[in-house]
Amino acid sequence: MLAERKPDWLRVRPPSGENYVELKSLFRSLNLHTVCEEAHCPNVWECWGGGTATIMLMGDTCTRGCRFCAVTSGNPRGALDLEEPQKVAMALAEMDLSYVVLTSVDRDDLADGGADHFARTVREIKARRPDMLVEALIPDFQGDLEAVRTVVDAGVDVLDHNVETVERLQGRVRDPRASYRQSLDVLRAAKGMRDGLFTKSSIMLGLGETREEVLVTMRDLRAADVDIVTLGQYLRPSEWHLPVHAYVPPETFAGFREAGEAMGFAYVAAGPLVRSSYRAGEFFLENVIRNQRHPQGA
């Protein structure tokens, strides 16, 4: 087991600043949750300081118990705030944003896994801010592709689902209800549901994977026609969670970025502090999507 002392490249500034305080106050007033806080994201200062955040739908209790995730596990027993889609759209209408990421806890207690709730939120946002680009980081909906279609058809611009780790480590890292192949099937199917849809996935490093296993995972994602991949360092949220096997140096991440670009990904974000929702990736996607819709000189 690796000692928990983190290397210098993982040091981050504590949350602070005017935008951070304003966003925190706004989310609290509307009883909204963000994955930035629930998952202890190391980039919360950078993102909130820049006026962006990833909103987590359907509460703060997840029906799954993945060994890497800081979000609380439990059984919400069908509890759902039916006004949340409007609350989220109202909050975003007050923010100076052009791109937003929506995610959620897993809600296996709901018949559709919460797909309709996702879709309602997307439609509410688009109704108030048709210019806003929406990325949805979805659970696997237990492989229910009609649930995936519900989210895609709501008008999301980017559909994101994470494989999390290499195939060999899936059973140790993720909840038993998740699987590598199921995640790939969700991504592959989503890509074929609508022309112009971008798909995205994320891989954590430092859990005991080998370099070749990471490259195989990246090739599998490309074979599923995934456009964007992010790679970041796994950080242990608590003693209950899996220990860090290795702190991967920045130069190794740079090598994976180069390999991913050679494989044909439209964009690869790779670095110790990169997370699935990553501002550099969002900036890239926003420019690509807007240029596709409004080509220069058209």
Do the Cβ atoms of 135 and 151 come closer than 8 Å? no
The CATH code of the domain at 8-293 is 3.20.20.70
Do the Cβ atoms of 114 and 69 come closer than 8 Å? no
Structure tokens of 87? 């609350």
CA count, 13 A, side-chain hemisphere, 38: 22
- Of 170, 160, 173, nearest to 35 by C-alpha is 160
How does residue 142 score in pLDDT terms, banded at 50, 70 and 90? very high
Of 284 and 137, the one with more pLDDT = 137
Q: What is the pLDDT of residues 235-274, one digit of tens each?
A: 898 888 999 999 999 999 999 999 999 999 999 999 998 8
Percent of the chain surpassing pLDDT 90: 63
pLDDT for 296: 62
Q: What is the pLDDT of residues 185-228, one digit of tens each?
A: 999 999 999 999 999 999 999 999 999 999 999 999 999 999 99
Do the Cβ atoms of 143 and 186 come closer than 8 Å? yes
Domain boundaries, the chain: 8-293
Question: What is this structure's pTM?
Answer: 0.86
Structure tokens of 150? 């519900």
The average pLDDT across 138-156 equals 98
Do the Cβ atoms of 243 and 208 come closer than 8 Å? no
pLDDT for 43: 44
The amino acid present at 183, given as its one-letter code, is S
DSSP class of 164: B
The average pLDDT across 286-293 equals 80
